[in-house]
Amino acid sequence: MKPQVIFQSLGLMDYQEAWDYQEKLFKGTIDLKIRARNGEDVGPTKNYLLFVEHPHVYTLGKSGDASHLLLNNSELSEHHAQFYKINRGGDITYHGPGQLVGYPIFDLDHFFPDIHKYMRLLEESVIQTLKEYGVESGRVEGLTGVWIDGDKPTARKICAMGVKSSRWVTMHGIGFNINSDLSYFSHIVPCGIQDKAVTSLQQELGRKIDMQEVSEILKVKMAEQFGFEYVNE
């Protein structure tokens, strides 16, 4: 039987609100696993996939360098952007309108207890989504995320990744640049990488992209890569 995933589209949501919601699902799942391990009959845990867009926001992972944010507090206000230090891995990144953010809250005991494989399948889901638009992409050795021309001086990142896991439960996820305002990336050292550019699907194709269309394709590709099926809550 395939693992089951509950999909929720959250629309445009404040970063803190979405983070709090993730934490609620994440901690609830971990609590169930602890109770089950202690012998309680609590039933199976649930898996969630959240898609969302955020207003302009910069987030710094727990291993990140705060100097990679190039704006002070007043400049953040001028750009109508917020800043959060958060509990995922990775360095600094940007989220904003036109970027499709995916947050899988998966209990990997339903899939496989392997974070490396989990990250690679997230990347592959995006790579296969980009293929639907005729855009070839891939990985860069030693770096996470999805890249175009990754092995060339013109390498540019189209999807960033940063996750947290505990007891094989995941949270945080991917930021996939669709119609993103790329000027906001000029105010950070993206993911701590100084020598590579950032791009979007809109920039690669030279036209605005239907976000809902990308969302539907990515949903299908994720189900294919991870071998799950979508169910209603």
**Confidence (pLDDT) at 208:** 98
Task: Give me the number of domains the chain comprises.
Answer: 1
Show the 3-state SS of the chain: CCCEEEEEEEEECCHHHHHHHHHHHHHHHHHHHHHHHCCCCCCCCCEEEEEEECCCEEEECCCCCHHHECCCHHHHHHCCCEEEECCCCCCEEEECCCEEEEEEECEHHHCCCCHHHHHHHHHHHHHHHHHCCCCCCECCCCCCCEEECCCCCCCEEEEEEEEEEECCEEEEEEEEECCCCHHHHHHECHHHCCCCEECCHHHHHCCCCCHHHHHHHHHHHHHHHHCCEEECC
Ordered per-residue pLDDT tens for the chain, 233 residues: 899 999 999 999 999 999 999 999 999 999 999 999 999 999 999 999 999 999 999 999 888 888 999 999 999 999 999 999 988 888 889 999 999 999 999 999 999 999 999 999 999 999 999 999 999 999 999 889 999 999 899 999 999 999 999 999 999 999 999 999 999 999 988 666 566 789 999 999 999 999 999 999 999 999 999 999 999 98
**Confidence (pLDDT) at 191:** 62
CATH number for the domain that contains residue 96: 3.30.930.10
Catalytic residues: 191
Domain holding 155, by residue range, is 4-231
